[in-house]
């Protein structure tokens, strides 16, 4: 892992991370795999899903990671749902939250509370192609370069200061599935690098800008 130190990080130096998922959890699996390296600056303390049938839950359990289900349908409104998520994060001593295919929108309050400490991956070169079906949007726009973005979460959907991006070429004959699979491979490389940069304190949110921290 680039950016890791040569010696194992002390437990106190490893930031405690929760990964929030709604489904497959392949980005979650990439983060879990990266954090198996003792020099990685983050440890995965919790995987939280809003859906009991999220396939990623079994992957997390198999890796020995605590899992929690907070079903949004059980709460009267978004604030009550978020309060329960907040309790789970606090109970596990979480310092950084990684959204990984988490398909719920947070209130501005929750996003502000985790400002600079909540990351998201989106499968496009933001600000292009926000929202649903970004690969179909890229193909329809005739884009030659597509990709993925890891960004700090702010109240607006798929917005927020960019931590890292990876470009992926659109190839002749690509359809939504083939392009999406190529972008997903890039996400699996990019997200662990971006989390490492934030967890190690090499990158931080300063106001509305991402700042590289001098060593
Ligand atoms: C990923 O491609 C992620 O970038 C996307 O959902 C997929 C989840 O896959 N997220 C968004 O579109 C957020 N706006 P995964 O569950 O296998 O990681």
Question: What is the reported pLDDT for 134?
Answer: 98
* Residue 1 belongs to a domain: no
CATH of the domain at 25: 3.40.50.170
- Closest C-alpha to 113, from 91, 87, 131: 87
Residue 132 covered by a domain? yes
Q: Residue 36: inside a domain, yes or no?
A: yes
Please, are residues 106 and 82 in contact by the beta-carbon 8 Å criterion? Answer: yes
Question: Is 7 in a helix, a strand, or coil?
Answer: coil
pLDDT of residue 5: 39
Which atom belonging to ligand 1 lies closest to the Cα atom of 22? 16
Question: In which residue ranges of the chain is pLDDT below 50?
Answer: 1-5
* Set 72, 92, 122, 151: catalytic member: 122
Structural domain includes residue 7: no
Number of domains in the chain: 1
Which DSSP letter does residue 53 get?
A: T
Cis preceding-peptide flag for 45 (omega within 30 of 0): no
Q: Which residues line ligand 1 (CB under 6 A)?
A: 21, 23-27, 100-101, 121-123, 158, 184, 187
Within 13 Å of residue 210, how many CA atoms lie on the same side as its CB?
A: 19
Residue 214, domain member (yes or no): no
Q: Is 9 within the bounds of a domain?
A: no
**Alpha carbon distance 90, 136 (integer Å):** 38
pLDDT of residue 2: 39
Domain hosting 26: range is 15-203
Can you tell me which atom of ligand 1 is nearest the CA of 134? 12
| Per-residue model confidence as pLDDT tens digits over 147-189 | 999 999 999 888 999 999 999 999 999 999 999 999 999 999 9
Amino acid 82: pLDDT: 98
31 within some domain: yes
Q: How far does the centroid of ligand 1 lie from the alpha carbon of residue 101, in Å?
A: 4
How confident is the model at residue 1, as a pLDDT?
37
């Amino acid at each position: 892992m680039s950016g890791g130190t040569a010696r194992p990080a002390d437990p106190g130096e490893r930031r405690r991370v929760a990964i929030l998922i709604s489904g497959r959890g392949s980005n979650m699996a990439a983060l879990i795999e990266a954090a198996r390296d003792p020099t990685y600056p983050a440890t995965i303390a919790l995987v939280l899903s809003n859906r009991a049938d999220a396939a990623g839950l079994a992957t997390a359990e198999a890796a020995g990671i605590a899992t929690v289900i907070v079903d949004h349908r059980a709460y009267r409104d978004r604030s009550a749902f978020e309060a329960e998520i907040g309790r789970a994060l606090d109970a596990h001593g979480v310092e950084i939250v990684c959204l990984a295919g988490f398909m719920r929108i947070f209130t501005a309050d929750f996003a502000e509370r985790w400002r600079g400490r909540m990351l998201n991956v989106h499968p496009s070169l933001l600000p292009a192609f926000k929202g649903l079906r970004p690969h179909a949007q890229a193909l329809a726009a005739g884009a030659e370069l597509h990709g993925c973005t890891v960004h700090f979460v702010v109240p607006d959907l798929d917005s927020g200061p960019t931590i890292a991006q990876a470009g992926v070429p659109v190839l002749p004959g690509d359809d939504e599935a083939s392009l999406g699979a190529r972008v997903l491979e890039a996400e699996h490389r990019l997200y662990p690098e971006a989390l490492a940069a934030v967890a190690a304190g090499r990158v931080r949110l300063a106001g509305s800008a991402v700042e590289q921290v001098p060593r």
